[in-house]
Amino acid sequence: MLVACTCRKQPPTIAAAAAGNFATFNTKLHNLYRPTSTMSKVSSPRRYRRDSKAAPGDGSSINLKHACYMFDQMLSSPNAHYHHPIYTLNYLMAAVARINHHTEAISFYKRMPLCGSSGVVSDTKTLGILMKCYSNIGGCSGYGFGILGLVLKRGFKFKSFLVGLNSLMNALCKELKINEAAILVHKMRTCLGAAPDVITYTTLLKGLCSTSNTKIALNLHEQVVGGTSVFGKGFQLDLISYSTLINGLCKDGMVDRAKELFQEMKSKTIIPDVVTYSSIIDGMCRVGQWKEAKTMFCDMLDQGVAPNVVTFTMLITALAKLRRSKEAKELLLFMKQKGYTPDVYTYSSLMDCLYREGNIEELEEAFNLLEEEGLKPNVVSYSILIKGYCKHGMIEKARKVYQQMLQKGVKPNIITINALIEGMLLRGMVSDAVDLKSEVTVHNITPDVFTYTILVDGLCKNGYIQEAVELFDKINDTRWRPNAVTYSCLIDGLCKERRLEKAFELFDRLSREGLVANVVTYNIMLNGLCKAGKMDEARRLVFKMEKSGTPSDLYTFGTLIHGFCLVGDTQRIVELLQKMADRGMQLNDAIDDMVLTRLLKEENYNAYVNLLPTFPPRVPSRNH
């Protein structure tokens, strides 16, 4: 809808230009979207778009109303076709498209034949702009192939339509039609006579990486470097193509291969920029290579590449996972000292770090600082604060923040709801938690498997076992299926209620559903059997567990020892202690107390003491 085109009030200078002075008209036209930044002289516009928020021709000085007015003037002027050639109209389409008014640019094209009596014949640039508009709208690759038909119909050479072909490639990749995109690349050279360029290659790389085909993208890169690909020999890769693949590799956890590519691009004198460095730093942080990430960050600074807010936020997020709030706060301070302004995501990462450490006071301070600096908290920052309050049992504060969030128009997500439900159940507020689950419908939120797991666990811990069983059975009526954790929560509740038959039924069903019981699930069942005095069944269960490849842990041995203490079988206890010693395990205080208490009840105390194995010295715990 071209609302702007209805505006007829216009400065006299532009109106005069549109009326007759063609040179002045074109000057004004260029002024509509000339870059205002001094960076516009950068030699590579592709590189510029990565380094600046206001790229040349990005529309930072476009006046859409003027553009629409001038277009209307062309339509209404006599002999418009003669006075205003097609490239002038192309300028207007491009100018409007660059400020993301793609629908309006398409509307310009549809109205173009109305110009003059004979109409304006579009050229390859017009069709290229049109293709790019449809690509940016999304879901319009069908229109793109229609434009290819126009190119063929009008006899244009495809080698002069490379921009349009690349835009069609982009549209196909956005729609996840990677096979069609790959076929198009092949046909560009073999059938259409248009040699794919580095933009074609990078677009295909990005599409492959975004659809979890990173290994195929890497294979394509190796073919290109080796000169055996459809792109031909001597094909020159650039910064963006390398950065795209490095980013895809890092997101797929293939950080070591990304490092190799990083070195490869530097060996070709392709200088990494902030995007490249940020991608590889993020990849290192994702796989826990914090020291390497810090080294890369320092190298980035040494090379004179300025980090951006995203880089700092990635590092703070990594520190949050490591629960190192002191370093996270120091990094935030360093960031500010260097003139960078933290955004809401930066503060949310710091809040997450403080939440993980359980530092509720500083968590509140970070949230308040976010607001004091004029930033608007988003659903992530609100959810972290709510989780913090719930974790510390401060439910009323959590509910108050939740209401503030709604009042400010921030829509909650399922993480917010899950945090509140879990907090309420921890405080025994079962009815409130169940009522809150029904509120997800109001906000058009779909409960996930974590929602159901939290409810099942909470109901069990609050003694509502039958309600938990009924809810568990209802999960299968949703799009979700219970996971191993959901099973473990309900099995734990049933065992504590001595409903071992039902617990075993669920335990057996777990494997039939294709889920694998871990040591936690086995220990839950084991605990139930030991408390019931069913030690033979407990021993058989441990044998089955270890045969399946799940080794016993300290809790397993502690549970068995406790069970044998209950039935007074000291000999079995000594045998278990010997197994622990053979496996190099250490005792803990709980096992020490149980064994000592049992031995003191034995008449032949000294005989059993002589049978006890020797354990390695216990490592003292350190307070962090």
Closest of 305, 310, 299 to residue 335, by C-alpha = 310
State whether 497 and 570 are in the same domain.
Answer: no
Closest of 244, 322, 249, 325 to residue 285, by C-alpha = 322
pLDDT at 240: 95
State whether 286 and 209 are in the same domain.
Answer: yes
pLDDT tens per residue across span 448-491:
999 999 999 999 999 999 999 999 999 988 888 999 999 999 99
**265 is a domain residue:** yes
Phi then psi dihedrals of residue 508, to 5 deg: -70, -35
**260 is a domain residue:** yes
**213 is a domain residue:** yes
State whether 498 and 568 are in the same domain.
Answer: no
pLDDT at 79: 55
Average pLDDT, integer, range 264-290: 94
pLDDT at 86: 75
pLDDT at 23: 43
pLDDT at 486: 95
Residue 112 has pLDDT above 90, yes or no: no
State whether 563 and 483 are in the same domain.
Answer: no
State whether 205 and 259 are in the same domain.
Answer: yes
Residue 569 has pLDDT above 90, yes or no: yes
What's 296's domain CATH number? 1.25.40.10
Helices 162-174 and 178-190 pack at an angle, to 10 degrees, of: 160
pLDDT at 113: 60
Residue 31 has pLDDT above 60, yes or no: no
pLDDT at 119: 58
Tokens coding 449 = 């498997």
Residue 282 has pLDDT above 70, yes or no: yes
pLDDT at 440: 80
Residue 58 has pLDDT above 60, yes or no: no
pLDDT tens per residue across span 404-438:
999 999 999 999 999 999 999 999 999 999 888 77
**105 is a domain residue:** no
State whether 519 and 566 are in the same domain.
Answer: no
Tokens coding 109 = 């094209």
State whether 582 and 492 are in the same domain.
Answer: no
State whether 496 and 594 are in the same domain.
Answer: no
pLDDT tens per residue across span 193-238:
888 999 999 999 999 999 999 999 999 999 999 888 888 787 889 9
Tokens coding 214 = 């990173």
SS3 readout for 429-454: CHHHHHHHHHHHHCCCCCCCHHHHHH
Share of the chain above pLDDT 70, in %: 86
Residue 55 has pLDDT above 50, yes or no: no
Instruction: Write the single-letter amino acid at 163.
Output: V
pLDDT tier at 560, thresholds 50, 70, 90? very high
Average pLDDT for the chain: 84
A 10 A CB-CB count for 264 gives 15
pLDDT at 327: 93
**421 is a domain residue:** no
Q: Which of 247, 271, 303 is the last residue of a domain?
A: 303
Separation in Å, CA 352 to CA 88, 346, 386, 426, 579: 53, 10, 11, 21, 42
Residue 7 has pLDDT above 50, yes or no: no
Q: Which of 512, 540, 568 is the last residue of a domain?
A: 540
* Among 193-197, 241-245, 272-276, 618-622, the least confident range: 618-622
Radius of gyration of the chain (CA): 33
Please count the CA atoms within 13 angstroms of the CA of 424 that sit on its side-chain side.
Answer: 21
pLDDT tens per residue across span 67-97:
788 778 777 765 544 455 677 778 888 888 8
pLDDT tier at 45, thresholds 50, 70, 90? very low
Cα separation, 465 vs 456, whole angstroms: 9
**352 is a domain residue:** no
Overall number of domains in the chain? 3
**35 is a domain residue:** no
State whether 570 and 495 are in the same domain.
Answer: no
Closest of 278, 276, 189, 298 to residue 235, by C-alpha = 189
SS3 readout for 306-323: CCCHHHHHHHHHHHHHHC
Query: pTM value?
Result: 0.74
pLDDT tier at 353, thresholds 50, 70, 90? very high
pLDDT at 451: 92
**Structural domain range at position 601:** 553-618
Q: Which of 280, 303, 326 is the last residue of a domain?
A: 303
pLDDT at 69: 80
**280 is a domain residue:** yes
Tokens coding 79 = 């002999």
* Among 95-104, 377-386, 492-501, the least confident range: 95-104
State whether 480 and 517 are in the same domain.
Answer: yes
pLDDT at 33: 40
Average pLDDT, integer, range 577-593: 91
pLDDT tier at 50, thresholds 50, 70, 90? very low
Residue 26 has pLDDT above 60, yes or no: no
> pLDDT: is 502 or 112 the higher one?
502
